[in-house]
A and B are shown apart, each in its own frame.
Chain A
Amino acid sequence: MGIYDILFWALSAIAVGCALGVILSRNPVNSVMYLILTFFSISGHYILMNAQFLAIVNVIVYAGAIMVLFLFVIMLMNLNADVEPQKGQLVQLAGVISGGVLFLVLLAAIKTATPIPIDKASIDIGLITNLGRVLFKDYVLPFEISSVLFLSAMIGAVVIGRKEDQGVVKGDA
């Protein structure tokens, strides 16, 4: 059992345990912290698979930007375990059973998949020189369209989040 396998099992255990913590903890702030830990362990998997650029982007974008946004909204609304709405036991059990059944069905479907060994020789795939060449050669149009998507998402967030009682005080938008 090499160092790769040990790291794989350790990171997988952290990822699955923290993912369970996300859905089981009562306090939303704890859920956010568990999700950040899950994202960090997934970034560890990326580093393990020589996808260094994606690992860094995952930490910066997900664990940095998106989760801080979640934390900010949760603290803005002052949510805690006391005001956390809970579903009934029956509905929770139904949710667990449906998720478990989906897990079992897909597990049975992919159980017989031909295992492909993770190629330890190709180490320069995830480097930014290679990814940048592919991005700006084959994926120029999606790249430009995603900038339009970002612009529209930004405008949409501003328009939706704006206070609607403008006009009462002039220029208070």
Chain B
Amino acid sequence: MPVNTTHYLFLSLLLFSIGIMGTLMRRNAIIIFMCIELMLNSVNLLLVAFSKAYADANAQLFVFFIMVVAAAEVAVGLAIIVMMYRKVHSVDINILNRLKH
């Protein structure tokens, strides 16, 4: 069977689920961040696949903007993690649950 959009749907769904699992499994804030990047990339892959299938360039521009937003997000998020590390000397998200109290 030649490769079609269903293959790319399954692949990006698998990558997205792996990202969800990592987000739920790990306690290190930086690893959770990396899993979010993985999920964003799986969505990018699917957008490019449909852009190719429909011969439409708009989806690739959306991928471009997703990359822009991800870069801005990483800059601010890592700054927050570094600040948190400076205060509590840990990147464990279980330390951060004092926001509850």
Which residues on A are within 8 Å of B, measured CB to CB?
2, 4-5, 8, 12, 15-16, 19-20, 22-23, 28, 31-32, 35, 38-39, 42, 45-46, 49-51, 53-54, 57-58, 61-62, 65-66, 69-70, 73-74, 76-77, 79, 84-87, 91-92, 94-96, 98-100, 102-103, 106-107, 110, 113, 115-119, 122, 125-126, 130-131, 134-135, 138-139, 142, 146, 149-150, 152-154, 156-158, 160-161
Given A35-B34, A62-B37, answer yes or no on A107-B60 (Cβ-Cβ < 8 Å): no
Nearest 10 CB-CB pairings of A with B: A95-B24, A23-B22, A99-B21, A153-B72, A103-B17, A115-B4, A95-B25, A122-B55, A157-B79, A85-B27
Question: Chain B contacts of A50 at CB under 8 A?
Answer: 52
Closest partner residue, chain B, to A98 (CB atom) = B24
Closest Cβ–Cβ distance, residue A141 to chain B (whole Å): 11
Interface residues on B, range: 35 or more
Q: Is the CB of B83 within 8 A of A160?
A: yes
Contact with A along B1-24 (1 / 0, CB 8 A): 011111111110111011111111
Question: Chain A contacts of B61 at CB under 8 A?
Answer: 131, 134-135, 138-139
Closest Cβ–Cβ distance, residue B44 to chain A (whole Å): 7
Closest Cβ–Cβ distance, residue A67 to chain B (whole Å): 8
Question: Chain B contacts of A110 at CB under 8 A?
Answer: 6, 9-10, 13
Question: Chain A contacts of B58 at CB under 8 A?
Answer: 134, 138
Looking at the complex, which one of A51, A99, A117 makes contact with B2 (CB distance below 8 Å)?
A117
Q: Is the CB of B78 within 8 A of A32?
A: no
Which residues on B are within 8 Å of A, measured CB to CB?
2-11, 13-15, 17-28, 30-31, 33-35, 37-38, 41, 44-45, 48-58, 60-61, 63-65, 67-76, 78-83, 85, 90-92, 94
Question: Chain B contacts of A73 at CB under 8 A?
Answer: 30, 78, 81-82
Extra contacts, 10 of them, besides A134-B61, A146-B65 (Cβ < 8 A), are A5-B3, A22-B31, A23-B26, A35-B38, A46-B48, A54-B48, A69-B74, A96-B21, A116-B5, A158-B79
Looking at the complex, which one of A38, A49, A92 makes contact with B49 (CB distance below 8 Å)?
A49
